Amino acid sequence: MINSKQIQCPQMILVVDDQELNRDLLGDILEEKYELLYAENGKEALEQMREHADKLSLVLLDLMMPVMSGMKVLETVREDEELRRIPIIVLTADRNAELKALQLGALDFITKPFDVREVILARVDRMIELSEGRQLISAAEHDQLTMLYTRNFFREYANRLHQYHPEMQLDAIVLNIEQFHSINALNGREFGDEVLRFIGKEIRSFLEETQGIACRTDADQFNIYCVSDGNYQAILDRFQTKVNMFSYTVSVRLRMGVRPWRKNVEPLLLFDQARAACNMIRGDYQNPLMIYDEDVQMREMLNRRLLNDLQMAVDKKQFHVYYQPKYDVRVSPPRLCSAEALVRWQHPNLGLISPGDFIPLFEGNGMISLVDSYVWDEAAGQIARWKEKYNFSLPISVNLSRADIFSLELEEKLIGLIKSNGLSFRDLKLEVTESAYTDNAHRLLEVVARLRELGFEIEMDDFGAGYSTLNMLSEMPIDVLKMDMKFVRNIEKSETDFRLVELILDIAKYLNLSVVAEGVETAGQLELLQNAGCDLVQGYYFSCPLPAEEFEKLIQHEVKIKRG
Ligand code: C2E
Ligand code: CA
Ligand code: CA
């Protein structure tokens, strides 16, 4: 934490004494090594201290002075958060005043008449050294943004609490902000910092009411090690309510993982488990609180297993691609017009695993690219086989993850697929999830724009699910909006939801984008969507995702209609 400026600059000392002779004497001793300021009474001393608070390394303070005494200065400084950190040595001839001055926060004495020069200089040197050391330690203890402890200091402190106070029932709580990167990207880092600072302050005031310590670990993750009444929901609600009041225009959602105290379990492990619980509910806005229990433990074991088995799955071709049709509903009866490739994992011991159980896991560590490129290969091969067999080309869309988009080989890989399978760019469509657009938007827009120029059709997936990119929509290089399922779910029951869907359709029309409604399950939903002018529909109403052999029947049917 020491910066070169601090090392090179001479330290600054303020000498306060009403007697010119004393000021001169001290000045003479110190001026060679230190930069000096002078004051003749307490009032001037305080003014100088305020003006140079961040630069002063020491104050030498006489006690008996006109206008304002040294004692009064000590009293004032003690109440002042900023001035309090400046060490003060008292200059006095009155031994009786020593104790009082000490109680008021003075750190040392120099008695009058002054000692030999070397003694004074040594005392001053020592005091500055000590207090700077102390400030360095304190800087290393605290995260400068939130004023909570730093991660290392917290870990050390937590271990000691555990070791020396094994009877204290301290829970491990991990608090995290949903999509913090998007909040930063959309509202600026300044705002992000303000949010973090605010949460830091709220955690500190929470800890004043109980016993415990806290730190910030990653950018947007907080660890709290505290005694609680076990009502974790109330703790989360408290923070969420405060944050809502603080940030009422930008939605900031918190999630919390808790590992309740367990006898003899070390804090490091407790926090690993609290974090695992917290990660498990990432993006699940319905359930922002997760308490570590056996289920979570099982899930964690399963996750480890899946991560472990991933490469084997690729090598042994255990991933299977299913196809879910999309229908053009502007015509009657609706016509098959494309499909989405969706992956499943046929695990030798665990059976058929749905993507919801492993995609988020692999997205978390970038390994998703392995799965994705497997699916693209498979889908591209399939399109080619059907094209040849039926002389009929049905475009199929595949999902792209964030990790794919930031991979340097993406473009080459996709072009390679098209060429080696003898496809045209129109045969393979790309779905990119909305939330990807808010993070590092610049780079993403660049990549997507290039893919689109090549001729790929780009669909924005899950539109409206997370932080809406509405304000960026007009600049986005996309062709299709895939409206998130949540909009469709209640349109039959909720007038508001239906209005929202109409609004999205209006905006899309204005921007010349076609719209796919996902998750359509009933005839009622379909009819409403058709009347509102929706172009394409995907959902269980028409079909769930199907293995290739079954999907082929839909193609055969379509081909039959085409040939009359
Ligand atoms: P998604 O891309 O939004 O895909 C649509 C999901 O909704 C699919 O779930 C599909 O089976 C389901 N769905 C379709 N119609 C209906 C309906 O009418 N009602 C309901 N309730 N659900 C319906 P699935 O196949 O379980 O996939 C879940 C998610 O996993 C996908 O959401 C996608 O984000 C991800 N995913 C699937 N395959 C891949 C892949 O190959 N790569 C990547 N990166 N992600 C994939
Ligand atoms: Ca998709
Ligand atoms: Ca979707």
**Mean of the per-residue pLDDT values for the chain?**
90
Say if CB 417 and CB 443 are below 8 A apart. no
Residue with tokens 């997507």: 448
Residue type (1 letter), 557:
H
Q: Which atom of ligand 1 is nearest to the CA of 482?
A: 3
Would you state the pLDDT for residue 7?
A: 32
Would you state the pLDDT for residue 468?
A: 62
Would you state the pLDDT for residue 1?
A: 28
Q: Nearest 5°: CA angle at 527, between 524 and 530?
A: 150
Q: Where are the alpha helices (DSSP H) in 52-116?
A: 70-78, 97-103
Write the pLDDT tens digit of every residue in 6-32.
Answer: 333 578 999 999 999 999 989 998 998
More confident residue, 155 or 323: 323
Segment 397-419 shows an average pLDDT of: 94
Give the pLDDT band of residue 334 (cuts 50, 70, 90): very high
Write the pLDDT tens digit of every residue in 414-454.
Answer: 999 999 999 999 999 999 988 777 666 788 889 999 999 99
Write the pLDDT tens digit of every residue in 450-466.
Answer: 999 999 999 999 998 76
**DSSP secondary structure string for all residues of 484-540:** -HHHHHTTTT-HHHHHHHHHHHHHHHHTT-EEEE----SHHHHHHHHHHT--EE-ST
- Report which bound ligand comes closest to the CA of 545: 1
Would you state the pLDDT for residue 470?
A: 73
Reported as type and span, the H/E element at residue 553 is: helix 548-562
Rounded to 5 degrees, what are φ and ψ at 57?
-100, -20
Give the pLDDT band of residue 49 (cuts 50, 70, 90): very high
User: Is the pLDDT assigned to residue 559 strictly greater than 60?
Assistant: yes
Write the pLDDT tens digit of every residue in 354-374.
Answer: 999 999 889 888 899 999 999
Q: What domains can you pick out in the chain, each with its CATH number?
A: 4-141 (3.40.50.2300), 151-292 (3.30.70.270), 301-563 (3.20.20.450)
User: What is the CA(460)–ligand 2 centre distance, in A?
Assistant: 9
- Report which bound ligand comes closest to the CA of 341: 1
Would you state the pLDDT for residue 444?
A: 86
Write the pLDDT tens digit of every residue in 64-96.
Answer: 899 999 999 999 998 887 888 889 999 888 777
Q: Which atom of ligand 1 is nearest to the CA of 520?
A: 18
Q: How far apart are CA 295 and CA 290, in angstroms?
A: 11
User: What is the CA(485)–ligand 2 centre distance, in A?
Assistant: 11
Share of the chain above pLDDT 70, in %: 96
The residues pairing with 536 across neighbouring beta strands, listed in sequence order, are 328, 516
- Report the predicted TM-score, pTM, of the whole model to 2 decimal places: 0.70
Q: Measuring from atom 25 of ligand 1, which residue has the nearest CA?
A: 342
Q: Out of 78-92, 170-184, 237-251, 337-351, which region has the weakest mean confidence (pLDDT)?
A: 78-92
Q: Measuring from atom 27 of ligand 1, which residue has the nearest CA?
A: 355
User: Is the pLDDT assigned to residue 225 strictly greater than 70?
Assistant: yes
- Report which bound ligand comes closest to the CA of 432: 2
User: What is the CA(371)–ligand 2 centre distance, in A?
Assistant: 14
Would you state the pLDDT for residue 4?
A: 29
Q: Could you tell me which residues come within 8 angstroms of residue 283 by beta carbon, excluding any fewer than 6 positions away? A: 178, 179, 360, 466
Give the distance, in angstroms, between the CA of residue 289 and the centroid of all CA atoms in the same chain: 16
User: What is the CA(103)–ligand 2 centre distance, in A?
Assistant: 69
Radius of gyration of the chain (CA): 34
Would you state the pLDDT for residue 6?
A: 30
Q: Where are the alpha helices (DSSP H) in 421-467?
A: 434-438, 441-454
**DSSP secondary structure string for all residues of 314-346:** HHTT-EEEEEEEEEE-SSSS-EEEEEEEEEEEE
Segment 262-289 shows an average pLDDT of: 91
User: Is the pLDDT assigned to residue 204 strictly greater than 90?
Assistant: yes
Q: Measuring from atom 12 of ligand 1, which residue has the nearest CA?
A: 519
User: What is the CA(66)–ligand 2 centre distance, in A?
Assistant: 79
34-39-42-44 Cα dihedral, nearest 10 degrees: -120
User: What is the CA(429)–ligand 2 centre distance, in A?
Assistant: 11
Q: Out of 157-166, 192-201, 296-305, 398-407, which region has the weakest mean confidence (pLDDT)?
A: 157-166
Reported as type and span, the H/E element at residue 239 is: helix 232-246
Q: Which atom of ligand 1 is nearest to the CA of 321?
A: 41
Would you state the pLDDT for residue 550?
A: 98
Give the distance, in angstroms, between the CA of residue 27 and the centroid of all CA atoms in the same chain: 53
DSSP 350: T
Q: How far apart are CA 79 and CA 274, in angstroms?
A: 39
Among 442, 429, 547, CA closest to 478: 429
User: Is the pLDDT assigned to residue 5 strictly greater than 60?
Assistant: no
User: Is the pLDDT assigned to residue 114 strictly greater than 80?
Assistant: no
Burial zone of 12 (CB within 10 Å; 0-12 exposed, 13-18 middle, 19+ buried): middle
Would you state the pLDDT for residue 228?
A: 92
Q: Measuring from atom 3 of ligand 1, which residue has the nearest CA?
A: 462
- Report which bound ligand comes closest to the CA of 370: 1
Neighbours of ion ligand 3 (CB under 5 A): 461-462
Positive or negative: CA dihedral 190, 193, 198, 201: negative
* Helix, strand and coil in the chain, % to nearest 5: 50, 20, 30
Would you state the pLDDT for residue 76?
A: 92
Segment 340-364 shows an average pLDDT of: 94
Q: Measuring from atom 43 of ligand 1, which residue has the nearest CA?
A: 399
Burial zone of 319 (CB within 10 Å; 0-12 exposed, 13-18 middle, 19+ buried): buried
Q: Which atom of ligand 1 is nearest to the CA of 343?
A: 38
Segment 191-213 shows an average pLDDT of: 94
Would you state the pLDDT for residue 466?
A: 67
Would you state the pLDDT for residue 136?
A: 62
Rounded to 5 degrees, what are φ and ψ at 19?
-90, 120
User: What is the CA(200)–ligand 1 centre distance, in A?
Assistant: 37
Name the residue of 492, 518, 543 to mutate for ligand 1: max ligand atoms within 8 A of Cβ.
Answer: 518
Segment 276-284 shows an average pLDDT of: 88
Give the pLDDT band of residue 33 (cuts 50, 70, 90): confident
User: What is the CA(367)–ligand 2 centre distance, in A?
Assistant: 18
Q: How far apart are CA 72 and CA 80, in angstroms?
A: 13
User: What is the CA(461)–ligand 2 centre distance, in A?
Assistant: 6
Q: Out of 193-207, 260-274, 463-477, which region has the weakest mean confidence (pLDDT)?
A: 463-477
Residue with tokens 């080459």: 412
Among 134, 125, 133, 131, CA closest to 33: 125
Output the ligand 1 site: residues, CB below 6 A.
324, 342-343, 354-356, 359, 368, 371-372, 375, 399, 401, 461-462, 518-521, 538-540, 545
Q: Could you tell me which residues come within 8 angstroms of residue 409 by beta carbon, excluding any fewer than 6 positions away? A: none
